[in-house]
Amino acid sequence: MKVVIIEDETPAAARLKKMLAATGFDIEVVAILDTLAGASAWMRSNPAPDLIFMDIELGDGLSLDLVREVRIGCPVIFVTAYDEYWQEAFEYNSIDYLLKPVKRERLEAALKKFDELKDYFMTRYRELVENRGVHKEKFLVRRGLEYVSIRMEEIAFFHASHKLVCLVRKDGAKFILDRSLAEIEKQVDDGRWFRLNRKYLVNAAAIRKVTALPKSKLLVEVEPAVKEELVVSSENSGAFKKWLNR
């Protein structure tokens, strides 16, 4: 983990560096900077570190001015003797706010928080990369004590009601799923599926009729039929017609 310390008090910077070395985390302090001007120049000419420890009140101004002016592409842990800046600090990449004198247990807790956040976002990033352009081909659903695999082309639509989501097959059979409509929408091929409204995600093959309504709204009829009216709002009607005309 590459770390930068921005601190204008030499003893405080040395103490923090020593404490970081004693935490057991794999930390390399790549720079100790003692002015806003020096920190700004370093940030503009070097790759962003993994983490910055930043005092707030420096000899030539507030470090909050630095984070406003320079695009800092990494998390920040503020280290200060003053508690009045904490609210503003959390508006600028801050993951923690440590008061001087820094206690070892608070420092280790802040580093642990950083590690957990890093692991979470790296996991989410890998999932996005792995799933990019990959669409589900089937859903595994439960029918009584059995599990049934239903291919995407067999599904007419997905329907959300009373916090439950149902998969509705073209023959009218219904199966409850343990995921949200928003999650399903991300997994299907958007060339074949359209989110009509907050309750229905529909297969193009299930659409039987589209009727124009006042104020540019559209009424959609599907097969198998449903009792309620499926209305596409005026805001989404243009995108729906463009999708249907592919």
178 near 158, Cβ under 8 Å?
Answer: no
pLDDT at 132: 55
How confident is the model over 106-155, as pLDDT tens digits?
A: 999 999 999 888 887 777 656 655 555 567 889 999 887 788 899 999 99
pLDDT at 143: 82
Is pTM beyond 0.85? Reply is: no
* Residue ranges for the chain with pLDDT beneath 70: 124-134
In whole angstroms, what separates CA 48 from the centre of its chain? 21
Q: Give the integer Cα–Cα distance in Å for 55 and 1.
A: 19
Token pair listed for 60: 């030539």
Q: Give the integer Cα–Cα distance in Å for 211 and 220.
A: 7
Phi–psi pair at 68, nearest 5 degrees? -75, -35
- The CA-CA-CA angle for residues 81, 61, 14, to 5°, reads 50
How confident is the model over 38-60, as pLDDT tens digits?
A: 998 998 889 889 999 999 888 88
117 near 95, Cβ under 8 Å?
Answer: yes
- 227 CB burial (10 A radius; 0-12, 13-18, 19+): exposed
Token pair listed for 52: 């910055």
pLDDT at 226: 95
| CB contact burial 177-213 (16+ within 10 A = b; e otherwise) | beeebeebeeebeeeebbbbeebbbbbeebbeeeeee
Number of other residues whose CB lies within 10 A of the CB of residue 110: 22
